[in-house]
Structure 1
């Protein structure tokens, strides 16, 4: 791992400014739903979008994106405001029109210095503006963009978004709209819809507490996730052939249709639990983000960019996770997804029965599928990104030690998809061995 202070490249800030909407925008305070106010959403997520130099390269990416930003904020004006905490502790958005923080930088190296981002290095943190960890919520911006120019003509757009304002799909929608504006469109092809009141709690609480309580993790509910300084961000590539062998094998075991996510969520769950050697009698949980926009009755409208995700929770005994066929875990995950009915969703919104901090319990495995959020479709005029990568390194270390993200592989490789995780190296090595053992079994039978 790179030594502190030993940078592989240097980043010089050219300009830092607030970009407001180019037209007057509404003022006032906007409601955030209980899904927006889930404890797990009270954090910023950071992502790098990598663009190579090409024959259609933008002469000035920062200028193009900055001008497009001022236009798209006319429609996404809440992002130009600020978060505010109410007396009851819940968050809302004050539409101030101040603007989105925009940073432009110059990097003294070619884009090749990043490789395929298979390992995140501390020097990469220069590519993203981050507020100090002790910054009050009132001073945190819902969105920050940093455009980094490299000497080869390529550039990296670093996006930091506060999860309480929108989820990954909402950010993907915003970024695609930003790209459309950069390419000369008059407005976004998808009309953004804020209407968080669609998810307001009902006046008369009607809920199925028994089904809810079974889903709530009864372990630590601390507000701050633990820091694992020894962890590093790692990437595990799954090629198309391996994916096919595993899917074919599981489909024959399940005698039904299973999604790629369900199958590989089960595979990751088993490999991690086996690698970490939990007691065989222990009950452990897997949490995975599910987009429930279409699960409501009526469904949330197309263009809704608030949080429309719920952390589904499946549980099993360690002995069964290790010894039952992998299809057993796939079916548990599938049934858990099917349980997220309109009745259940409305009940957890009414009662605010959300898991408070699933990150703090090492026995929890947490997954999120980023492949369909739309980040890989963001085109500012020179094509779509060759790579998308989360970035969660901070000055204290990693605080997502039990999280796994599924992402498209780099365009340079076209290798299936990547599993991104944060682990101490010795744990990751054991996890990788288990993944290989499971996939090899299906490849041999394929």
Structure 2
């Protein structure tokens, strides 16, 4: 898929309907845990999955996916229901069997109009059905799927899901199951497990309260990010060779291994802190989503598709974030990840101790959610892109996602950002300056 400067196209809705499970199912209400009620997941998450036209392309992808959807919902029946608010304001899920909203659309252009989805253009929002921003939560479907046919034979599957029902890994599991049913499987290879009850709170103890108090107090003297009038979804690419140079350099500095994610988080943290001109005496944090499924004791079962994500906040004084070596930040990030023990996670659930404050900087890792494995019968997607958009523009400030680059750029990763264009350009310059130091040092060895 080649880049193009053109980003204008028209989308015509062919059909919009509810797709219920193909078998009748009982109607009852399901419990949602504190992890499903925390402020950070009370959002819609959206993704575009791009499938290129080829000899094996589906003759009618919308028909194939719609029929498979009715079959897979027999196993993922809660997703055909609706969210409901209890008297205390918390959410639960009513299994109504109403179905998933399915939209079929035609696009008057070829996939080349999308380029590599490096920048979110206004036309792109036509590919995704969106409920009004003031819609009641009871009226918003847990999942919406829109299949967009392009004139080249390719298609884009746009998925919108309520994060209060399942996290990215959960929806990735669902989509892989949907793809399997589209390819003729009798049932999904991974059996879905609801089991939100495993995350019920225990009896609150003094120890629990102290852990939560410590978490809240640790955010004091933190820099409060401004509210931007304009934010744009843009992206930068990091090639694997450069990441390897940085990783090798950091390992020499701290004599310890580190992951690619920890390097990217440290780069984003340091570069953004410089660009945002945060006062040097204030705390600055980077919040990153951690899949805590295996951190619980016992671990959440295989096939669990609910929210297993917890926000981890790595914090330091702005002066140190800017001036210390990258290995210093990597070490803080590693320690923050290690602090998410079973006891800490349980104590947070016990006390609903989730902060509703906006993070200074946030980063999510989309590489392992499973979207790149979703195959409806014509192969895996050639590109995947998260898309966050409300009526007034992107709903995230200083937010970053770490994803795989398009298939044709298999030697790189992509970092997507939501921030004003001028700040983003400066962040990109800073990241290149930081990584270039490691590249230069490696060439001297």
TM-score range, shorter chain: over 0.9
Does structure 2 retain, via aligned residues, the 8 Å contact 1:111–1:152?
A: yes
Find the residue that maps to 1:133 and give its secondary structure: coil
Q: Determine if the alignment matches structure 1 residue 108 to structure 2 residue 108.
A: yes
Q: CA deviation at 1:37?
A: 0.6
Q: How does 1:217-366 map to 2 (within 5 A)?
A: 217-218=219-220, 228-359=228-359, 364-366=360-362
Output the TM-score relative to the length of structure 1. Answer: 0.95
d(CA) in 2 for partners of 1:82, 1:75: 16
Q: CA deviation at 1:358?
A: 2.0
d(CA) in 2 for partners of 1:172, 1:398: 22
Does structure 2 retain, via aligned residues, the 8 Å contact 1:122–1:393?
A: no
Q: CA deviation at 1:350?
A: 0.1
Once the two structures are superposed, what CA deviation does each residue of 1:299-356 show, in whole Å capped at 9, x if it has no partner?
1000000100100111100111111111111111100110100100000000010011
Q: 1:426 aligns with which of 402, 419, 422?
A: 422
Does structure 1 retain, via aligned residues, the 8 Å contact 2:208–2:350?
A: no
Output the TM-score relative to the length of structure 2. Answer: 0.95
d(CA) in 1 for partners of 2:13, 2:147: 10
Q: Determine if the alignment matches structure 1 residue 437 to structure 2 residue 395.
A: no
* 2:3 match: none
* 1:385 match: 381
* 1:175 match: 175
Once the two structures are superposed, what CA deviation does each residue of 1:332-388 show, in whole Å capped at 9, x if it has no partner?
1100110100100000000010011325xxxx1111100000000000000000100
Find the residue that maps to 2:409 and give its secondary structure: coil
Q: CA deviation at 1:408?
A: 0.1
Over 3 Å counting, the alpha-carbon distance change for 1:118 and 1:262 in structure 2 is same
Unaligned stretches of 5+ in structure 2? 1-5
Once the two structures are superposed, what CA deviation does each residue of 1:263-311 show, in whole Å capped at 9, x if it has no partner?
1101110000011111111111111100110111111000000100100
Find the residue that maps to 2:215 and give its secondary structure: coil
Q: CA deviation at 1:203?
A: 3.1
d(CA) in 1 for partners of 2:207, 2:82: 33
Q: CA deviation at 1:210?
A: 3.7
Q: 1:412 aligns with which of 408, 411, 415?
A: 408
d(CA) in 2 for partners of 1:121, 1:357: 29
Unaligned stretches of 5+ in structure 1? 1-5
Does structure 1 retain, via aligned residues, the 8 Å contact 2:236–2:415?
A: yes
d(CA) in 2 for partners of 1:429, 1:123: 22
Does structure 2 retain, via aligned residues, the 8 Å contact 1:272–1:431?
A: yes
d(CA) in 1 for partners of 2:228, 2:100: 31
Does structure 1 retain, via aligned residues, the 8 Å contact 2:147–2:156?
A: yes
Find the residue that maps to 2:198 and give its secondary structure: helix
d(CA) in 1 for partners of 2:27, 2:95: 5
Q: CA deviation at 1:219?
A: 8.1
d(CA) in 1 for partners of 2:282, 2:229: 27
* 1:3 match: none
Q: CA deviation at 1:124?
A: 0.6
d(CA) in 1 for partners of 2:179, 2:211: 42
Q: Higher mean Cα deviation, 392-401 or 150-159?
A: 392-401
Q: CA deviation at 1:125?
A: 0.5
Q: CA deviation at 1:93?
A: 0.5
Does structure 2 retain, via aligned residues, the 8 Å contact 1:49–1:157?
A: yes
* 2:399 match: 403
Does structure 2 retain, via aligned residues, the 8 Å contact 1:10–1:108?
A: yes
d(CA) in 1 for partners of 2:273, 2:203: 42
* 2:201 match: 201
d(CA) in 1 for partners of 2:153, 2:331: 48
Does structure 2 retain, via aligned residues, the 8 Å contact 1:207–1:344?
A: no
Over 3 Å counting, the alpha-carbon distance change for 1:435 and 1:138 in structure 2 is same
Does structure 2 retain, via aligned residues, the 8 Å contact 1:207–1:343?
A: no
Q: CA deviation at 1:415?
A: 3.5
Q: CA deviation at 1:395?
A: 2.2
d(CA) in 1 for partners of 2:11, 2:423: 33
d(CA) in 2 for partners of 1:110, 1:137: 35
d(CA) in 1 for partners of 2:141, 2:188: 22
d(CA) in 1 for partners of 2:297, 2:34: 17
d(CA) in 2 for partners of 1:135, 1:229: 23
* Matched length: 434
Q: CA deviation at 1:204?
A: 4.8
d(CA) in 2 for partners of 1:119, 1:415: 20
Does structure 2 retain, via aligned residues, the 8 Å contact 1:236–1:420?
A: yes
